[in-house]
Structure 1
Amino acid sequence: MQNLNGSHKPFFSFSKQGKFILLCLLPAIILVTAFIYYPLFRGVIMAFQNYTLFDMSNTDFIGLKNFKEIISTPDFKEILWNSFIWVAVSLFFQLTIGFTLALFLRKSFRGRGIYQAFVFFPWAMSGFLIGLIWRWMFNGQNGVINDLLLKVGLIDQQIPFLSDPKWAMTSVIIANIWYGVTFFAIMIMAALQSIPEELYEAADIDGANKVQQLVKITIPYIMPTLLSTILLRVIWILNFPDLIYSMTNGGPAGSTHILSTFMIEKVIYAQDYGQAGAVGVIIIGLLLMFAIFFLLVTNYRKAGDF
């Protein structure tokens, strides 16, 4: 590029302030690139390679062979179905219960701070640790849940929650619901605080009851928060193998495997990084398609407009 004096000016130029900002951001850029983007890029490449620890001398590109082998796995359809149930059921109850808790926490009452602490506490804990706690609670011989059910007379013999395929998936979903309710409660309660009280006062004057206020004021006003939170939770739940892995390790007989735990199994037990990368690419593809569909259907940009 040439200026009026005929001298050349670089296409990209930074002021002193711009250079300082770039210098401040440089450590974050390096860390994000090294620990997020490079592993992601490398994993996508591995998905098309014969990359196993049993034969590191042969890492040739094999096209779509890893994807074909993953899809042709006998349990792949069940894994896809488990993944759908894991996300859909967990999301529904997390949203419903979290929304209800946020509505209760919006109003001031005695002991509100203590109540909030108990509600928000699970989010501060490790998912793997929570899985170990629920694994003990669902223990088929000396678990707390079996003991309570026996004492209240709802069952007459202990239930093998984590060793019976009929109960295992339900058990891990219950644990995941308990863990994820907090996130919805925090996000929705923050959004509720931004609603002007004048809207509710005007609605009271017009004779609107609580249900009408909820439908006509509360939900439309916090709709952008609801949509973004739902989208984030779908992504996180599908990529959250901690609970399942610590509670059932994908068992019994693979009945609690979802895509993310299936990917971990390919790394740890099969030591096949190529197939694990293929599962990762499948997860990325499914989430990308869902995100596009979700944003189009919900008309996200216009959400919350009155």
Structure 2
Amino acid sequence: MKVKQGHWIWPYLLIAPALLTMLCVVFIPVVQAIVTSFRYYDLRYPGKTQFLGLGNYIEIFTQDPQFWPSIFRTLVWVVFGVGLQFLFGFILALILNRKFFGCGVVRALSMVPWVTPGVLIGLMWRWLYDGNYGVINDVLIRLGILEHGISFLSRHEAAMPAAVVSVVWQGIPFFALMLLAALQGVSSDMYEAADIDGASGAQKLFYITIPSIKNTLFVTVLLRIIWVANSVDIIQNMTAGGPAYATQTLSIYVYQKAHVLNLGYASAMSVILAVLLLVVAVPYLRFTFQSERS
């Protein structure tokens, strides 16, 4: 009886290291950021901290000329970035789900963009877009499309589309991998029955494939929205938010404010970003808990 009564503590002991790590790495910094957001806190003058209450938030919403434009640019960044990632990733997953010669090699190589660090992706695409020696300009000039090189990242109208292309290239393998795993779980009997009934490819896609993997579609899209909205590395290494704030998303703005050591103001904006992302996180968590109960 004593042994059986002591069994209840083992699950908690086993997860204690992970909980302790999460407490130190996630929970405490989050609480510290929330507390700091109500203060004037500049690392250059650590002894001159001052409690401002909602002062930072009021200044952000009413006096900061770059806050609302950064919200709009974040929306553009997420909608087009995640939307195109999903579209091309789904197409790639459908292709990889078929059997063909070299399928295993193609599947392995398709993961390269996903495993490449975001810093390297930003540097690589900055080189590709370079107006003097970039590969993209060289190809367009050789094809006769351009007469001379264009500095894509220095043009206000081209910088954001160029950054979106880079994050799409990075995220396609994530959708392809997740959706491919879901596609392989779809029973082939349904496709055989659809073939007997004379269903077209589009009908099988919309009435069999998509309904069968809708849960995976939902989760992957929500996760990627959160990751892309929080991403800093690609844009920071490509354009640093320029030119003229053309690629300054909210996460980049937070990073730049923290970089000049205005931690109170940056913490307030990071809290605002976290609240906005809760709009996406809550449906994801609700879906996860419902799946576990069922």
TM class by smaller structure:
over 0.9
Q: 1:184 aligns with which of 172, 175, 190?
A: 175
Q: Which moved more, 1:150-159 or 1:65-74?
A: 65-74
2:234 paired residue number: 243
Determine if contact 1:44/1:278 at 8 Å carries over to the other structure: yes
Hey, what does 1:7 align to over in structure 2? none
Q: Following the alignment from structure 2 to structure 1, what is the Cα–Cα distance between the partners of residues 148 and 41?
A: 48
Percent of aligned pairs with the same amino acid: 38
- CA shift for structure 1 position 150: 0.6
**How many Å apart are 1:131 and its aligned residue?**
0.7
1:197 to 184, 188, 200: 188
- Map 1:209-228 → 2, pairs under 5 A: 209-228=200-219
1:30-49 alignment runs, 5 A limit: 30-49=20-39
2:111 aligns to what? 120
In the alignment, is residue 265 of structure 1 matched against residue 248 of structure 2?
no
What aligned pairs does 1:58-77 form with structure 2 within 5 A after superposition? 58-71=48-61, 72-77=63-68
Q: Which amino acid aligns with 1:66?
A: N
Deviation, structure 1 residue 140: 1.4
Following superposition, the deviation at residue 116 of structure 1 comes to 0.8
> 1:301 offset after TM fit, Å?
9.3
Letter in 2 for 1:265: Q
The one-letter amino acid of 1:195's match is V
Aligned alpha-carbon RMSD (Å): 2.1
214-223 or 246-255, which deviates more:
246-255
- Give every structure 1 segment of 4 or more consecutive aligned residues whose post-TM-superposition deviation is greater than 6 Å: 293-296, 299-303
What is the alpha-carbon distance in structure 1 between the residues aligned to residue 126 and residue 288 of structure 2? 39
- 2:10 pairs, out of 17, 20, 38, with 20
* TM-score using structure 1 length: 0.89
Residue 294 to residue 154, structure 1, CA distance change in 2 (3 Å): farther
Letter in 2 for 1:60: Q
Letter in 1 for 2:110: V
Q: 1:301 to 1:35 in 2, by over 3 A?
A: closer
Alignment counterpart, residue 153 of structure 2, candidates 152, 162, 170: 162
Amino acid in structure 2 at the alignment position of 1:45: V
**Structure 2 residues without counterparts, runs of 5 or longer:** none
- For structure 1, which segment, 177-186 or 70-79, has the greater mean C-alpha deviation from structure 2 after superposition? 70-79
After alignment, is 104-113 or 287-296 more displaced? Answer: 287-296
Deviations 1:11-51 (A, max 9, x none): xxx94333333222221111111011111111111111111
- Which AA in structure 1 matches 2:38? F
Answering whether residue 81 of structure 2 is matched by residue 86 of structure 1, we say: no
Task: Tell me by how many angstroms 1:52 deviates.
Answer: 1.2
Q: Which one-letter code corresponds to 1:244 in the other structure?
A: I
For 2:153, what is the secondary structure of its paired residue?
coil
For structure 1, list consecutive stretches of 5 or more residues without a partner in the other structure.
Answer: 1-13
SS at match of 2:40: coil
Q: Could you say what secondary structure the match of 1:68 adopts?
A: helix
Q: Is the 8 A contact 1:227 1:300 kept in 2?
A: no
What's the TM-score, normalizing by structure 2?
0.92
- Picking from 128, 137, 148, the partner of 1:146 is 137
User: Residues 70 and 115 (structure 1 numbering): CA distance in 2 closer, same or farther, change over 3 Å?
Assistant: same
Q: What is the rounded CA distance, in whole Å, between the counterparts of 1:170 and 1:253 in structure 2?
A: 15
Note if contact 2:129-2:153 (Cα within 8 Å) is conserved in structure 1. Answer: yes
Query: 1:65: how far off?
Result: 1.1
Measure the CA separation in 2 of the matches of 1:65 and 1:162: 36
Give 1:137's aligned residue. 128
Please identify the structure whose Cα radius of gyration is greater. 1
The equivalent residue for 1:57 is: 47
Shift of 1:54: 2.8
Question: Conserved in 2, the CA contact under 8 Å of 1:224 and 1:300?
Answer: no
Residues 1:15 and 1:127: Cα distance change in structure 2 (over 3 Å): farther
Q: Which has the higher helix share?
A: 2
Aligned partner letter, 1:268 = H
